[in-house]
Amino acid sequence: MKKICYFCLAACLILTACSKTSSFVMEIPELTQGSILLIHATPSQIEAGLQDTLAFAEFDNGRFETTFDTLTFPSDNMDCSVIIRTKDGKFACNLPLPLSKGKTTKMKVERVNQYMKGEGLLKSSYSGNKYAESFSDFFVKLITLTETSHEQKDASEQKKIQQQQVSLYKDFIEKYPSSGLAYSLLIGQVLQANVSESNPITDYCSELCLDIDYENAWAEYLSNVMKDRRKKALSSSVLSFSALDIDEKTITERDIKPCEYVLVCFWASWCKPCREELPLLKQLYKEYNSKGLEIVSISVDTNPAEWLEFVKQNPLPWLSLIGNGMELTSRYDFEMIPMNMIADKEGRIIKRDLFKEDIRKAVSELLDK
């Protein structure tokens, strides 16, 4: 009789373990209401522009909770994203979400008010299972270093910060070699880096790509991103464009007046930081045009009428054009505007990703001789 009781008890425990579902609990105390979207995508889905929606719902009182009764995990862990929005549209974010099979993942989002004021990054921490806790430690340290990097202008200090970030990546990827979250964060940094110049992040990615495990879809995806970035870096090293002036005449790089250097500014009429740079650009043109500097502004406005109205009301003393934003951002491999670069008289791009006083410093180094 005792044997039967022990057998039944063991069977119940086994059934309970097998039926245990995964769940997710989010706390975001600074927001009372909003909507939440949970998504998952493999590298092949990302390349195809696809994703799986795991949950979509509204939350109240800064809390959301759900279970995944029918979700099939590809392995013990599943790398997802959580997109949070408020109803008024004043707040939106996309944050990583580490899930574990048969476990609860708890997520807490903080520093929302500072983030909305532009005073730093969000803080998201995770708990409830081993994978979530390991990722939380890695992610919090990585974000802290990222904030420090944004505040640091010295190139040597930024390199030290990147070396610290590489150490974090190495430790976490060694522990979780197939972590899509770690690779996604790494790819995000690669997309913002100049791959034609050596730095600790891109050097580390190159190391990963040399000894790639093709059974690891995320490692293969990183390798493809690196190859694409290097190809774009090569094609974007020479000044080449086709855009329209205010009379709808097609202008190319061959129509620029002969000069020692040309400062090319990608901008848009709706972009506040772009407009704030105009006084500086006008001052530089006044100081250095006679020394061999030309400026060309190429707008990526999607509405030509808005661009035309702006340049007519705010005439510029240099060539002002409008181009195809998708084509230009792809050719010169940038996502954010303003984006300023300098080409020499042979058309070779020698400096890029210049912003505000970086522009003056670069022009001065080239022409104050």
Residue 56 main-chain phi, psi, to 5 deg: -145, 120
Q: Which helix (H) or strand (E) holds 351?
A: strand 349-354
Which of the following is catalytic: 93, 209, 259, 271?
271
Q: Which helix (H) or strand (E) holds 104?
A: strand 104-110
- Answer whether 42's CB lies under 8 Å from 144's CB: no
Handedness of CA 273, 279, 282, 283 (dihedral sign): negative
Instruction: Kindly write down the DSSP assignment for every residue of 21-88, as one continuous string.
Output: PEEEEEE-TT-SEEEEEEEE--HHHHHTT--EEEEEEEEETTEEEEEESSPPPSSSEEEEEEEEE-TT
> Given phi > 0 = left and psi -120 to 50 = alpha, else beta, which region is 118?
left
C-alpha separations of 247 from 250, 269, 308, 319, 321 in Å: 9, 18, 10, 12, 10
Residue 46 main-chain phi, psi, to 5 deg: -60, -45
How many CB atoms are located within 10 Å of the residue 368 CB? 9
Amino acid identity, position 349 = I
Q: What Rg, from alpha-carbon coordinates, does the chain have? A: 25
- Answer whether 318's CB lies under 8 Å from 288's CB: no
The three-class DSSP label of residue 303 is coil
Q: Which two tokens stand for residue 187?
A: 């790819």
Range 152-158 contact pairs with CB under 8 angstroms and sequence separation of 24 or more: none
| Residue 271 known to be catalytic | yes
Q: Give the whole-angstrom CA distance, residue 341 versus residue 252.
A: 16
What are the residue numbers of the active site? 271, 274
